[in-house]
Amino acid sequence: MNNSIVVKLAAAALVVGLAGCTDLKPLQAEVDTLKQQVGQLRTDVDAAKASADAASRAASAAQSSANQASTAASGAQSTANQALSAAQAAQASTDATNEKIDRMFKKSVSK
């Protein structure tokens, strides 16, 4: 963007030099227009930077939320694994108790 402004200013200076500096009003008007364009470009760049900064903050917040969700999911998985282990132990104990009761019942019936 700055290169195009420099080129335009150089072209304007060349025209001034070739014209013998007879009429500077059109050149002044072009310089004023260029200044306005530069001002607008600065405004546009500042707005784009603000948007990029906001997007970056939003992305960081989303990443933080994702990390928290992942940590919560890991905790839930760990709890589920513990519950499964406890359920399996309880089932094994119940199976063993039922087996003992069956053996005792078979002994009492066979007597």
Tens of pLDDT along the chain (111 residues) come to: 566 776 677 676 666 666 555 567 888 888 999 999 999 999 999 999 999 999 999 999 999 999 999 999 999 999 999 999 999 999 999 999 999 999 998 877 776
Q: Which pLDDT belongs to residue 27? A: 82
Residues whose CB is less than 8 angstroms from the CB of residue 41 and which lie 6 or more positions away in sequence, other chains included = 1
Question: Alpha carbon 59 to chain centroid distance?
Answer: 3
Amino acid, single-letter form, for residue 84: L
Q: Which pLDDT belongs to residue 16? A: 60
Residues whose CB is less than 8 angstroms from the CB of residue 15 and which lie 6 or more positions away in sequence, other chains included = 27
Contact 3, 38 (CB under 8 A): no
Residue-number span of the structural domain to which 56 is assigned: 2-110
**Count of residues making up the chain:** 111
Domain total of the chain: 1
